[in-house]
Amino acid sequence: MSGDADNGTTAYPIRAVDRVCDILDTLANSKDGVSLSDLAEATRMPKSSTFRYLTALEARHYVERCDDGASYRLGLAFRPQDTRGLEKLAELAKPALDRLRDQLGETANLGVLDGGSVVHTVVSESPHMMRLAARVGERGAVHSTALGKAMCATLPEEQVRAILQMAGMPAATETTITDPDRYLEELARTREQGYGIDEGENQPSGRCVAVAIEGLSFPAGVSISAPDDRLPVDRIPEVARSLAKVARALGNQMRS
C-alpha cells in the first residue's frame, strides 16, 4: 500500500467529497458571503458544477443564500453553539426558575434554539400532579411552542423562514399554526406584546407563555407552562411580567 499520508493527501480520495469540502472550507473562511463566481474560482470548478453542488448543499441546509440572493454562506446546520455560555446560563437559570415555579405554582423552563428546534435546558417542574413539563434535553418545534415564538421573534425573517423550511410545520393540534406567513404575523404580535404564547398549539388544553433573553450570543428564553384551566388568559400579563423580570436578570448576569 502506498504511503500517500506522507504528502498530506488521502489514500483513497473521493473527488465529489473533496469538492464539497473545498466549498465548505471556502465559505467557513469567509466573514461575508461568497459569490458563485468566486466559489468556482476558489475550488477550480466550472460555475455549472459549483452551482449543482451548492444546490444540493442548500437543500440539506449546509449552505444558504445571503440577503442579496447572489452569494452564499454556511447554513443553519453549521451554526456554532456557545457551549460555555450555555452551561453558564443553565447554572444561573436553575435557582431563578425554581423561585419562579414556587411563586407561580407552575412549571418553569429555560429553552435554547438549536438548529431548527427548541431544546429544554432547565425544567423546574410544578408540584401539581397534573402538569405540563418537558424533560431536560427534550426538543420542541419552534412553530408550536411559546419558547419558539419568543426566540424566533428576535431573528431576521430570512432566518426564520429557513428554520421553518428545515424543520417543517406539522400540526401537533387543531390550533397549530402551519403556514409560514401566518407564523410571521404571530411573531410580529409577539414582538409587540413582548412575549410569546402557545394556546394549545403544542398540546391540547395546554397554555405556555415565554419571554426571550436578550443580549446573548445565542437565542434563549424562559417560559411558564400549565394546563389552560390553571393558567387562564387573564393571568397571562402577570406571568409575562414575572418572566420578563427573570429574563432581564439572566441577561444582565450573563453580560457581567
CA separation for the pair 126, 103 (Å, rounded): 11
Domain boundary among 28, 55, 78: 78
Q: What is the pLDDT of residue 239?
A: 98
Q: What is the pLDDT of residue 4?
A: 39
Q: 61 with 20, same domain?
A: yes
Task: Please report the sign of the dihedral spanned by the C-alpha atoms of residue 123, residue 210, residue 244, residue 114.
Answer: positive
Rounded to 5 degrees, what angle do the CA atoms 144, 116, 57 make? Answer: 140
Which residues in the chain land under pLDDT 70?
1-13, 67, 76-81
Q: 237 with 156, same domain?
A: yes
Q: 69 with 94, same domain?
A: no
Q: What is the pLDDT of residue 195?
A: 98
Q: What total number of domains does the chain contain?
A: 2
Q: 9 with 42, same domain?
A: yes
CATH number of the domain encompassing residue 71: 1.10.10.10
Q: 197 with 113, same domain?
A: yes
pTM for the structure as a whole: 0.74
- DSSP-derived letter for residue 37 is H
Q: 27 with 110, same domain?
A: no
Q: What is the pLDDT of residue 172?
A: 95
Q: 12 with 119, same domain?
A: no
Q: 90 with 154, same domain?
A: yes
CATH number of the domain encompassing residue 147: 3.30.450.40
> Are residues 160 and 185 in contact, defined by beta-carbon separation less than 8 angstroms?
no
Domain boundary among 55, 78, 101: 78
- DSSP-derived letter for residue 73 is E
| pLDDT, tens only, 126-176 | 988 777 778 888 889 999 999 999 999 999 998 899 899 888 999 999 999
Q: 188 with 236, same domain?
A: yes
Q: What is the pLDDT of residue 80?
A: 58
> Are residues 220 and 254 in contact, defined by beta-carbon separation less than 8 angstroms?
no
CA separation for the pair 153, 143 (Å, rounded): 11
Which residue range(s) make up the domain with 248? 83-255
Helix or strand or coil: residue 120?
A: strand
Q: 66 with 101, same domain?
A: no
Q: What is the pLDDT of residue 230?
A: 95
Domain boundary among 58, 78, 98: 78
Residues sharing a CB contact under 8 Å with residue 134, sequence separation 6 or more, in sequence order: 109, 120, 123, 140, 225
Q: 199 with 106, same domain?
A: yes
Q: 50 with 136, same domain?
A: no
Residues sharing a CB contact under 8 Å with residue 170, sequence separation 6 or more, in sequence order: 141, 176, 178
Q: What is the pLDDT of residue 6?
A: 39
